[in-house]
A and B are shown apart, each in its own frame.
Chain A
C-alpha cells in the first residue's frame, strides 16, 4: 500500500511567522512531489513541485525534499491570513505512473 502521510492539524501560526508543513511517503521509488493548496469549498491548486533533493524556492514558498528520509516539506515565510487553507502533499510513484497519491492534508490557520 503506497501511502502519503501528513499531520491533519490544524496548524496555527501568527501572521508574519514561518509555517512548516511536513509530509512523509512510503514508496522509496517515488520520483516527483507536489504541494497543492485547497481553500474551503474550492478545488486544489498546485503551488509547488519538486523533483530532486534539496530546496526549491518560489516567492514566499520553499519546498524541501529528502529522498533518503522519504520526507517532503513546505515552508511558508511571512505567513498571511490569506494562506489559511488545507495543504495537500502529493507523490507520483515513478516512471510510467499516471497516478498521484495524495495525503489527507494539513489545515493551516494564520492568525492576524
Chain B
C-alpha cells in the first residue's frame, strides 16, 4: 500500500468555478504526478513534481496549475472549470529515486463533473 489518498473522491461543480483536488501521501516519496483519464484518450499527464516547490508541465497542462508546498501534498487546481475538464483524475507516486521511472502507484481517483 503506497499510502495515497485523494480528495474529494467525487465532485460536481459548475462552469467557471475554481476547483482544487488534493493528493496526500504518507511515505515522503519525491515524485508525484497528476493524470486525467478520459474515454478514447487513455491516461494523460497533466503536471508532475520532483520535489517541494519543484513542478513541471505534462502533456495536457492548459487550464491547470499545481502546488507542492510539502512533500506529502500535491494539489491540482482548475482556476475556472470548463466542461472539457470533466474527467477522472488520478494522482500517482513513484517509489523510485530515479527520474526515469514508470513504476507508479495510483490513488483511487477523483471523479469531477463540470456542468
Contact = CB atoms under 8 A, between A and B. Distances in A.
Contacts of B41: 104
B99 A99 contact: no
B19 interface: no
Interface string A48-90: 0100000000000000000000000000000000000000101
A88 B100 contact: no
Size bracket of the B interface: 20 to 34
Residue from A31, A46, A94, A96 with most neighbouring chain B CB atoms (10 Å)? A46
Contact of B43 (A31, A46, A88, A94): A88
A95 B106 contact: no
Contacts of B45: 99-100
B59 A99 contact: yes
Given A43-B106, A46-B104, A94-B100, A102 B44 contact: yes
Interface of B: 31, 40-45, 48, 50, 56, 58-59, 90, 99-109
